[in-house]
Structure 1
């Protein structure tokens, strides 16, 4: 971090290291801002004294706009913790830092204890991610002064901006809109994207939109003294001097593409790679045969249609029989879910469906229909599981239309089967569809060594059995 290289760290787990990572990048950001501000003040003094032989090039110490650090976090609770860490880092023994608008900040970003629903048991990672205020539409400017800090400062008077992708998207706007502003992103020197995996569950388009508006030449001068602006800022080279710190809980092609396509740091890049040895299939506790079926596709774009055709032609006919009732179909992509839902309606199949937009009565009805066997199929989106983490009872057959984004979701969904024991464990089934483009997700589920063998094998079907008594 101190070398100002770009960093991609895909092992930021919600249940471990989260606070330590947050503390480290806050320290780095604050150190950068304090040093930059100190240099500006020193140069102001030098200029005021008008020493002879003073080279004007030495006074170039600013960007085209003031904001230097952008910290992107998913929820208000994350922003609250970031600001609290910044305040604690500025405090010195026996003297508290003066923070303006602190009460307003705590009221808007804090969370009352009564807001939390009682008696709900959820996995540890869910409790860690969804702690506190989970509103995802916010942005706040932070001005760092010598002995004080100002919250809610206007962006063009701020040193650090803490925001969510949605909060930034609403101010950046879209092409053609009259009220849009992204000049404040023109001179960002450190970009920190924390908990990047959660944006996959929110709206990844907002992150891509943000990345495409970073370090562009501003449309207005905003009162800048051009004699103090660094030459590389004036030459529109800011993106080559920006450090990007990317923290995620998993390795995913969409996150990798941000690092590969939008990071141009001349200092270089450092990417941490974790090779999973065992995979999350080892956490499956029920006795269950897992049939992994490989589908062939010529390109990343064609794999969507190839998967749908493979599912409707090869997989679905095996489950149409009434004997194969209580079949849950887990669909990671909302677009695939809509496509399948429309196909099931067209074919007049007995099914019900739940997604992240389904209301509570709709969820209850669907769960009851599925549990009692009144509907043969239940379509479920990955985002529904991410945000709700309900235990769905009544599963006898399980189909993963695509491998889960989070590897531990695989074992969680498989283990739901044990919530409804009717003495029929011997007839339970699990089918997983994958292609060569799912290599990272496959490795996270079955382990890197097995995944390599499966992808290189001439066979398209592989069987694993879990939960056997050895």
Structure 2
């Protein structure tokens, strides 16, 4: 009965908080910017003195439902007494006056709908669940010490933790090359310590993972047995190690999504069930003042999915709902209406990786919170009341930076314990600064308490080590220096970090079979910082004179496409073509991601008909549109594309011109300029067996056919 009385106390508390809340909801609909709640003073300023004191509405630690609540041991008695007093008086509460009005009727309707969505109904089953938790607690008094969640988050060995934290600060890592079924490179780094390293677990099926009971059946049906490649990374995922996986493809993207979603759900349910058990213990042993549980963070959100499009968000949500049978999914229709679109807008002639990324709703600014109870998942929950946040880097940055300056902040990211970033290579094609900004704001000490009960906060949070226990999973189709730098800087996990690089022994150049001469020219570049200047100097002093000396064919113009991966380099080259005397006799067009579609069509038409002999073309515009450029006879790569598929597709423009009989074979060619700082990009194109010789050898010109 003690557990049930505790339940009733929190039900009363929840109603009181809703009655005094007032104002618009701090959540958001599609297109609305989330304003994280500020401190709790204004939320309780209008409460009459005769009413029981309640905590601010922004607290994730004190929800209206014990399944979601994270109450304090000492606060519990005060709340129970307050509820009894309020029940005796049974007098209506005064509504808070609404001061900030929406500027238009649309915002007002959205605000009212959002407020209605916050109302949660209780049912007789709630008391049964609390009783079940109390019974489970009697049966499972001792936690499973072999559970990775227990070892890493709940009760880490303090001596071992101290040693590993010191090793990370001193940049001391032990490295181990793990065997994989393929020829990929899989390296595990672990902070050095005197602790005996346990053998790596072998996880062949989902039955080998310590999962919450409600996930076991669906996990086996959806995932079942892991492939050889999955077995290389799954142990690190479920052992809470950081992962940088460079082998994401269209074919394995769905499996990776289900694996990471299963891990996220398991982590959330582990956290939630532990808190409920401890709440039941507190309710049962409320006279014991010495009872203490360290089972929480500063705020409630524990998992962050960084995704690229709204449609990818829909796919992730579908993966989670396939893995767990929720009896209710609140606001699911609203979510689908806002985030999902039919995935049939592109024809089959577009590459499959392009269709996988941009099919459906490809909007890139979004964020949404999800809250889980034992039987329900709720969409569009407030960030501070959410268990999972799904967002794009741009959407999350807008949520942090916008709104009332007094409420601006990233406190809702202070207790994130799992970050899953899918399609990092696609994020790289956006503004990478947004991603860096989000990672810089993870696991910072919160500026406001947000109703936090510090007696329940884990010690490593209080010591400022949350970033060292957070797990970071980054899935990408390929690596770039910036992706590597992000991982090296922010993946400082005491459990270790795993990096998987696919086998690039055979480069993409081997798959072309077009019979087109491809010349790679290495230029001298003293440092990475000065590489853009060295590249521009080589291009203007060596490549441009060669292009201007080419004899113009009698018909059709020169047909030279200049592919420029970076937009900054594109601007520099475009300005040179427009203002230099060396190019004053060259007619050229330019297509970038910022060019109006009408101007794009005009430039493509003029290039195809020969009215313009050269066309400047950026890597990002190819990423977003995958244009099929006609009239290409020669290609000059100002730099090697990060995505090796772009190299194949652009060289394919020349092959298509040959196939249509628009040009003779002796008049076609490909020229690539590169420096020693492009080793990763070069390896994916020419193959790992050649890259060492090309980067560090004596020769600086290499021909392929």
Q: Do the structures match in fold with TM over 0.5?
A: yes
- Unaligned regions of 5+ residues in structure 2, if any? 1-236, 553-557
Go from structure 1 to structure 2 and tell me whether the alpha carbon gap of 1:108 and 1:61 turns closer, same or farther (over 3 Å shift). Answer: same
Separation in 2 of the partners of 1:279 and 1:205? 30
In structure 2, the residue matched to 1:66 is 300
Question: Is 1:462 matched with 2:705?
Answer: no
Separation in 2 of the partners of 1:175 and 1:129? 31
Question: Is 1:109 matched with 2:343?
Answer: no
Question: Is 1:172 matched with 2:400?
Answer: yes
Deviation string, structure 1 residues 379-421 (Cα, Å, up to 9, x no partner):
0001111111111111111100000111111111101113223
Alignment partner of 1:377 out of 614, 620, 643? 614
In structure 1, the residue matched to 2:143 is none
Question: Is 1:215 matched with 2:443?
Answer: yes
Q: Which has the higher contact order (CA 8 A, sep 6+)?
A: 1
Separation in 1 of the partners of 2:270 and 2:405? 37
Question: Is 1:28 matched with 2:258?
Answer: no
Listed as ranges, the matches of 1:128-277 within 5 Å are 128-173=356-401, 180-277=408-505
- Unaligned regions of 5+ residues in structure 1, if any? 466-470
Separation in 2 of the partners of 1:451 and 1:178? 53
Q: Which moved more, 1:17-26 or 1:247-256?
A: 247-256
Separation in 1 of the partners of 2:562 and 2:342? 37
Listed as ranges, the matches of 1:41-80 within 5 Å are 41-50=276-285, 56-57=291-292, 59-80=293-314
TM-score normalised by L of structure 2: 0.63
Deviation string, structure 1 residues 270-306 (Cα, Å, up to 9, x no partner):
1112230111112224221111111111211100100
- 8 Å contact kept, 1:10–1:247: yes
Go from structure 1 to structure 2 and tell me whether the alpha carbon gap of 1:339 and 1:152 turns closer, same or farther (over 3 Å shift). Answer: same
Question: Is 1:304 matched with 2:540?
Answer: no
* Pairwise CA distance, 1:176: 11
Separation in 2 of the partners of 1:119 and 1:81? 21
Listed as ranges, the matches of 1:326-405 within 5 Å are 326-347=559-580, 348=584, 349-405=586-642
In structure 1, the residue matched to 2:544 is 316
Q: Which moved more, 1:329-338 or 1:256-265?
A: 256-265
Separation in 1 of the partners of 2:616 and 2:377? 50
Question: Is 1:100 matched with 2:330?
Answer: yes
* Pairwise CA distance, 1:30: 0.3
Q: Secondary structure at the match of 1:441?
A: helix
Q: Which moved more, 1:261-270 or 1:171-180?
A: 171-180
* Pairwise CA distance, 1:369: 1.2
* Pairwise CA distance, 1:321: 3.2
Count of paired positions = 457
TM-score normalised by L of structure 1: 0.94
Q: Which moved more, 1:386-395 or 1:188-197?
A: 386-395
Alignment partner of 1:16 out of 251, 254, 258? 251
Q: Secondary structure at the match of 1:272?
A: strand
Alignment partner of 1:4 out of 240, 263, 268? 240
Q: Alignment RMSD, CA only?
A: 1.8
- 8 Å contact kept, 1:295–1:433: yes
Q: Secondary structure at the match of 2:538?
A: helix
Separation in 2 of the partners of 1:365 and 1:283? 33
